[in-house]
Amino acid sequence: MATPVEKWVEESAAVTRPKKVHWCDGSEAEYDQLISDMLATGTLHELNQQAYPNCYLHRSDPSDVARTEHLTFVCTSRKDDAGPNNNWMAPPEAKEKVGKLFAGAMKDRTMYVVPYIMGPVTSPYSQLGVEITDSPYVAASMRIMTRMGSVALQRLGSSDNYVKGLHSLGDLSPERRFILHFPEERLIWSVGSGYGGNALLGKKCFALRLGSHMAREEGWLAEHMLIVGIEEPSGRTTYIAAAFPSACGKTNLAMLIPPESQKGYKVFTVGDDIAWMHLGTDGRLWAINPEAGFFGVAPGTNYKTNPNVMETIKRNSIYTNVALTKEGTPWWEGMDGAPPAEAIDWQGKPWTPASGTKGAHPNSRFTTPASQCPAISPHWDDPTGVPISAILFGGRRANLVPLVYQSFSWQHGVLLGATMASETTAAATSAVGVVRRDPMAMLPFCGYNMGDYFGHWLAMGERIKQPPLIFRTNWFRQDQGGKFLWPGFGENLRALCWVIQRVHNEAGALETPIGFVPRPQDIDLEGINISPAMLNELLAVDREGWLQAAEGQGEFFSKFGDHMPREIWRENEDLVRRLKA
Ligand code: OXD
Ligand code: MN
């Protein structure tokens, strides 16, 4: 008798009519075959195999280079459940409209059936998915980004408990591109895009949008957060989860290398983009990274900003939309050294530094196995995950928000996350550099009404006996002349050290209306060239600015109507009161 997944694959094939169906086993031989097929069709280009063994370049359609939030929908029976933070279509309407685009979409193509596990193979917190796709690039990338193949099929057995994801490249036209989520059926439909965030369905679609929905139902948290462990010279390791919007340095922070003056510290990467956090039997919050690879932004990545990832991406990696040098190596703006005198740009056209265009697309990416990262934590694959002691919410803000500060409580911390705003980046197709509200860095990823999401955070706080402390960070504050005040990257460890000391009751702080802010003497400045005036500016609390921000919050909160918890309003009113006192 056919298993539930076999039946669904049959039904999907009857609609999409592929010339062939291939069930992925996840083996190396299968990956090699996928690569050689893509080299033969020009979907991939070989990079210099001496310098970059087993690395390839993919050039996407120029209209398909980033997440398309305006074409992304949450299809719940009731519009209210999706909330004003999501585009919504009624499930029958969505199926009718987009179903047509799947009809015969795989004609003359192979259908790959990709079973995968999000999370460590034997973890009770992991979840299963099956993605059906007609893109060999997606199938190969899923092998890097997830535990994919027989291992997943074995865990699934004859169960029907998995997330279904149907993906077709369609004709790649933005006119016929839709990324649809049906949380009530644990189903994803994606058509018309091969871009990672739209097409690797385990990542944003499952691990965050459906994941957040499942997490609310089941009492856990699915968050857009890196997970990092920091070992102090004493040998004590503290784990931190941190939410930053897309392309705001999560990968760099997850892998930072301690500065010369911070000898004896070690940083261990558990994840760089997504955290699934569950209540442990010990009353703490435990996090797993559901992914098995990094899908990172290439531009700006170099041996200063992230030496660990530079080493990671030297082999077994797929690059997308970077430039190609004469030597057959990948290149992007902000890579070490001078730009190449000539290269092929991300669209396959001859390019020189004088061209006046970007050689690599600003959202060009690498897809690389996490296990290759020199900083990978020995616990990154542990079934129980790691215990989280602190949560950071960080945006990209030129002013107002201090380098780091701590909330007074879990509830106040939820307000810190809920009022986050950040300048937009090239990770999504829309204007770049505009400040937008991005609560908890989840605006594009929360699969249900965000008012209910804040309520879920508050409810979790009630249940966690030893809740992590909550902080806000901002590495991007600028001086009057528009220069960054804080050097960033490895030096961010100094702010994290204060966080860790606060966790262990070992550091002082100034109590201000917005929260506990470190005093200048609370941040270790040994070996760093930063003037007292700059530090004061970095830690300054501008009462007037905060008052305006807090009073302006009401308009945003009101959008969620009675889904917005009273407690969040109250926290904000308390903040206003403290600022006026
Ligand atoms: C990502 C994103 O790719 O957030 O991680 O867009
Ligand atoms: Mn992300």
DSSP line for 221-240: EEESEEEEEEE-TTS-EEEE
Ligand 1 neighbour 67 (Cβ under 6 A):
yes
Ligand minimally distant from the alpha carbon of residue 428: 1
Please check the confidence at residue 45 and state whether its pLDDT lies above 90: yes
Residue 269 CA to ligand 2 center (angstroms) comes to: 16
Residue 523 CA to ligand 1 center (angstroms) comes to: 31
Structure tokens at 572: 């904000």
Distance CA 186, CA 127 (A): 12
Nearest CA to ligand 1 atom 1: 246
Distance CA 216, CA 457 (A): 9
Distance CA 15, CA 424 (A): 38
- Pairing mode, if any, of strands 510-512 and 515-517? antiparallel
Please state the atom number of ligand 1 nearest to the C-alpha of residue 246. Answer: 4
- Which pLDDT belongs to residue 186? 98
**Packing angle between helix 566-580 and helix 450-463, nearest 10 degrees?**
80
Question: Given phi > 0 = left and psi -120 to 50 = alpha, else beta, which region is 459?
Answer: alpha
Closest CA to 144 of 13, 273, 281, 28: 28
Structure tokens at 408: 């007074």
Least confident of 32-36, 87-91, 429-433, 473-477: 429-433
- Give 537's pLDDT tier (boundaries 50, 70, 90): very high
Ligand 1 neighbour 546 (Cβ under 6 A):
no
Best mutation site among 248, 295, 301 for ligand 1, i.e. most ligand atoms within 8 A of its Cβ? 295
* pLDDT tens digits, one per residue of 552-574: 999 999 999 999 999 999 999 99
- The single residue listed with the structure tokens 């939820």 is 414
Distances (CA, A) of 291 to 44, 144, 202, 397: 23, 9, 8, 28
Distance CA 205, CA 73 (A): 10
Residue 515 CA to ligand 2 center (angstroms) comes to: 27
Nearest CA to ligand 1 atom 3: 197
359: number of CA atoms within 13 Å, CB side? Answer: 26
- Which pLDDT belongs to residue 544? 96
b/e per residue, 325-344, with b = 16+ CB within 10 A? Answer: beebbbbbbebeeebbeebb
b/e per residue, 93-127, with b = 16+ CB within 10 A? Answer: ebbeebeebbeebbeebbbbbbbbbbbbeebebbb
Residue 333 CA to ligand 1 center (angstroms) comes to: 19
Nearest CA to ligand 1 atom 4: 246
Residues annotated as catalytic (active site), given as ranges: 248
Residue 316 CA to ligand 1 center (angstroms) comes to: 21
- Which pLDDT belongs to residue 558? 96
Please state the atom number of ligand 1 nearest to the C-alpha of residue 224. Answer: 4
- Which pLDDT belongs to residue 247? 86
Residue 299 CA to ligand 2 center (angstroms) comes to: 15
Ligand 1 neighbour 244 (Cβ under 6 A):
no
Closest CA to 189 of 77, 124, 102, 82: 102
Mean pLDDT of 223-233: 98
Please state the atom number of ligand 1 nearest to the C-alpha of residue 295. Answer: 3
Distance CA 348, CA 245 (A): 30
Query: Mean pLDDT for the chain?
Result: 97
- Which pLDDT belongs to residue 204? 98
Q: What is the DSSP-derived secondary structure letter of residue 183?
A: G
Ligand 1 neighbour 56 (Cβ under 6 A):
no
- Give 189's pLDDT tier (boundaries 50, 70, 90): very high
Mean pLDDT of 45-71: 97
- Which pLDDT belongs to residue 432? 83
Q: How far apart are the first and last CA of the chain?
A: 71
- Which pLDDT belongs to residue 55? 98
* pLDDT tens digits, one per residue of 251-279: 999 999 999 989 899 999 999 999 999 99
Ligand 1 neighbour 518 (Cβ under 6 A):
no
